[in-house]
Amino acid sequence: LFLQFLFHAYTTTFTLVNGNGTPKAEEYSVQEKQMLFGLGAISYAALVGAFPLTFMNRYTLKSSLMQLVVKKLLPAPLFGLTSAFTVAMVRSPEFDNGIEVMDRNGNVIGVSKKAGEKAVMETALSRAVLFGTTFFLPEVLMHSVQRARWVKNPRALGPVRMFVVMSVLAGMVPVSFSMFPQCGEIKRADLEPEILSSTEETEFFYNRGI
């Protein structure tokens, strides 16, 4: 549970620092709301991530099938889903207040909630792919390594696994960040009428965040 908490605390802090800076509200502090939502999301994600292993150990479910499901199959989708969840929670003010949209020359046209939704959903999806793949692919590779008996000393499996995880993570970071452009584009038809009424532009852009 503690390690899960640390992992999600780091990724949520990264998301908070690298989100879109547009959202503002007079009735509350956006930063306070983001921190409160972030802490809740971190705690919830840590509990969800730790629950399967805790449940298995609590009821001494040690069958080979249970070991396979809990230790091999569940971590990847859980990390992917919980990582996407923390992104959506900590950047929720972008849903509520919208983010700035610009024309092709960089001039701010207005603030759009629909652009905020698009930016957050794209970032959440890229984060799910990043950590889901990072925890799934090493398991497949380590299974192949063990089956082929490339590592004969059992004590060496730990360092090899760590090397594989770090290698996959290093490769997936640029892939994840490049899934969607940093300067995203939104169609005119997808914007709010109040924004469209003030311009004849057909191409609109926004800062997606990381």
More confident residue, 121 or 202: 121
Question: How does DSSP assign 44-95, residue by residue?
Answer: HHHHHHHHHHHHHHHTT---HHHHIIIIIISHHHHHHHHHHHHHHHHTHHHH
Query: What's the one-letter identity of residue 118?
Result: K
Per-residue model confidence (pLDDT) at position 168: 92
Residue 28 has pLDDT above 60, yes or no: no
| pLDDT tens digits along 116-156 | 999 999 999 999 999 999 989 988 888 888 787 777 777 77
Crossing angle (nearest 10°) for helices 113-148 and 157-177: 150
Residue 50 has pLDDT above 80, yes or no: yes
Per-residue model confidence (pLDDT) at position 210: 85
Per-residue model confidence (pLDDT) at position 148: 76
Distance CA 102, CA 137 (A): 39
Residue 197 has pLDDT above 60, yes or no: yes
Per-residue model confidence (pLDDT) at position 205: 94
Per-residue model confidence (pLDDT) at position 90: 92
Enter the pTM of the model.
Answer: 0.86
Per-residue model confidence (pLDDT) at position 20: 83
Determine contact, residues 111/101, Cβ cutoff 8 Å: yes
| pLDDT tens digits along 70-95 | 888 888 899 999 999 999 999 998 88
Residue 61 has pLDDT above 80, yes or no: no
